[in-house]
Chains A and B, each alone.
Chain A
Amino acid sequence: MLRTATLAVTFLAGIIVILAFFFDVGFLATAEARVQDWGVIVAAFALAMASINLVQVNIRRISSSDDATEKICAVVLLAALVVMSIIGLTQGPTSDTYNVLFDGIMAPGQSTVWALGVFYISSAAYRAFRVKNVDAGLLLFSSAFVMLGAVPIGEVIWSGIPAVSQWIVDVPNMAGMRGMLIGAGIGAFSGGLRLLLGIDRTEVG
């Protein structure tokens, strides 16, 4: 019964959104807005569940881990969760205190992690560019042109490098990307259709 109801709700919500995309009918637009609202409500419940999960996992880490650093990290995380929740609930997420804590700790932290990507790219590139076969050789050859085309020294070495680099990006690279994109798009469509019609029941377990 629960499974049938879930499949029916999935179908109904999906078909309303699809019809509203194609047809400019008043009641469809209203129904679509309602579906979107329900989505927000469900997401809010999911966030509450996720927060409970976060607390459970970190309390377990504090109580059972042998690693002192891990325990400290878990305590800091839980303290941050409590402090940010209290400030968010009492002063609102647009208050100065909330923004100072977010912009002063969270944002630089995220930027730092993102910046670390350059080191990961270097180590990955080192492994990828080892010429083990013809494919790896082609990869090295084309990437060397693309990289040299992106920096001023490339043009100094040979004036044609930027043009070759651009051609590699715009023609063979783009052709491959678009081929993958079309395949992925059709695959996503097929997956969506299966979910909509209840053929794929992944979401109902």
Chain B
Amino acid sequence: MIQGRQFTLLLFLVMSVIMLYAGNYVRKGKKTIKIRRLSAVEAIPEAIGRATEAGRPVHFSPGLAAITGLDAPQTFAGISLLRYIAKLTARYDVRLIVTIRQPAVLPLAQETIRQSYLEEGKFDALSQVDVMFLSDQQFAYAAAASGVIMREKAAASFLFGAFWAENLMLAEVGTQVDAYQISGTASIGQVPFFVTTTDYCLIGEELYAAAASLTADEVFLGAILGQDICKGIMVALLVVGVIVTAVGSDLFVRLLSL
């Protein structure tokens, strides 16, 4: 075992067991889960409805992160929401434009959209979808995506995933073309910009919970229950840590560095 990672392994195992157990617990019908309604998710059909009425396209960005690394879960969460959005654009015959920064996300987005259109029985309408790789350079992508939103006069713009300094640029351009904007990110430093500039924003963990809130899948809902239990444990650890450290003991610090 690598020194300094024993406590992390313990936490990893405890959290895994809790999440799997919670998923199973809910799946077996032992507990009915009712999760908080996320106004950002509820506004998605409204935004697409507005695009339908205006006869203008919908823009979607799954963020700038790759499918590997610390920010990858945000990209996958964004793709989960893309599946839902693509179903709605297929249903209402609205043009969907997806702008991509990471090459590896391109096939993922294309396959997700293809699957959504197939499920809606609108395979022919796939010609209305533009999945564009723009650039793997952060600001080149931002400039190009802003240009797409501006030129196409997107009626709705969805920004779900990991974003950095370019997020304000994308959201402000959306505002300039009067797009209905819904965003979501777990990149904490960027949340204030999205909250300020978009109509609705999924903050932090809400991005991960959003996909679960769209499904009645018990395992997904159980995972939300598991997350809440884990959060409770974290809060308890924080409180105990503060008390133990405040009384002058380094027990907790040593425990964490095990």
Distance in Å from the Cβ of B41 to the closest Cβ of chain A? 15
In the complex, A95→B169 CA distance in Å?
33
Contact status B165-A114, CB under 8 Å:
yes
Q: Is the CB of A70 within 8 A of B103?
A: no
Judging by beta carbons under 8 Å apart, are B196 and A127 in contact?
yes
Cβ distance B216 to chain A, nearest Cβ, rounded Å: 15
Are A186 and B231 also in contact (CB < 8 A) when A70-B151, A110-B139, A117-B168 are?
Answer: yes
User: Whole-angstrom distance between the alpha carbons of A127 and B181 in the complex?
Assistant: 15
Say whether, besides A53-B132, A187-B209, A181 and B1 are in contact (CB < 8 Å): no
The stretch of B44-52, B87-95, B106-114, B247-255 that contacts the partner chain: B106-114
Size class of B's contact patch?
35 or more
Those of B45-80 within 8 Å (CB) of chain A: 67-68, 70, 72-74, 76-77, 79-80
- Interface segment among B31-39, B153-161, B186-194: the answer is B186-194
Q: Is A50 in contact with B133, judged by CB distance below 8 angstroms?
A: yes
B231 x A54 contact (CB < 8 A): no
Question: Is there contact, CB below 8 Å, between A42 and B138?
Answer: no
A149 to B245, CA, bound (A): 31
Which of B104, B139, B207 has a CB less than 8 Å from the CB of A114?
A: B139
User: How far, in Å, is B58 (CB) from chain A's closest CB?
Assistant: 17
Q: Please, what's the 1-or-0 string for A174-194, where 1 marks a CB less than 8 Å from any CB in chain B? A: 000100111110111111111
- Find out whether the CB atom of B1 lies under 8 angstroms from the CB atom of A22: yes
- Measured in the bound complex, the distance between the Cα atoms of B205 and A94 in whole Å is 42
B220 / chain A contacts, CB cutoff of 8 Å: 194, 199-200
Q: Are A109 and B140 in touch, CB under 8 angstroms?
A: yes
Task: Given the known inter-chain contacts A127-B196, A191-B73, please indicate yes or no for A202 contacting B15, CB distance below 8 A.
Answer: no
- Please provide the chain B residues from 180 to 229 with a CB less than 8 Å away from any CB of chain A in the complex: 186, 188, 191, 193, 196-197, 203-205, 207-209, 211, 219-220, 223-224, 226-227
Interface string of B127-142 (1 = CB under 8 A from A): 0001111101111101
Interface residue total, chain A, C-beta cutoff 8 A: 55
Q: How far is the CA of A24 from the CA of B72 in the complex (A)?
A: 25
Flag whether A49 is at the interface (Cβ < 8 A).
yes
* B112 and A124 contacting across the interface, CB-CB below 8 Å: no
Whether B140 and A106, one on each chain, are in contact in the complex, defined by CB atoms closer than 8 angstroms, is: yes
Contact assessment for B103 and A46 in the assembled complex, using a CB-CB cutoff below 8 Å: yes
**In the bound complex, CA of A205 to CA of B113 (Å):** 9
Interface residues of A in 17-61 (CB under 8 A from B): 18, 21-24, 39, 42-43, 46-47, 49-51, 53-54, 57
Instruction: With CB as the reference atom, state the residue of chain A lying closest to B116.
Output: A205
A193 touches B19 (CB 8 A): yes
Q: Write 14 A-B pairs (CB below 8 A) sorted by A numbering.
A: A43-B104, A46-B106, A49-B107, A50-B106, A67-B151, A70-B151, A106-B137, A120-B169, A124-B168, A125-B196, A127-B196, A183-B231, A186-B205, A200-B220
3 closest pairs, A vs B, by CB? A187-B208, A187-B205, A50-B103
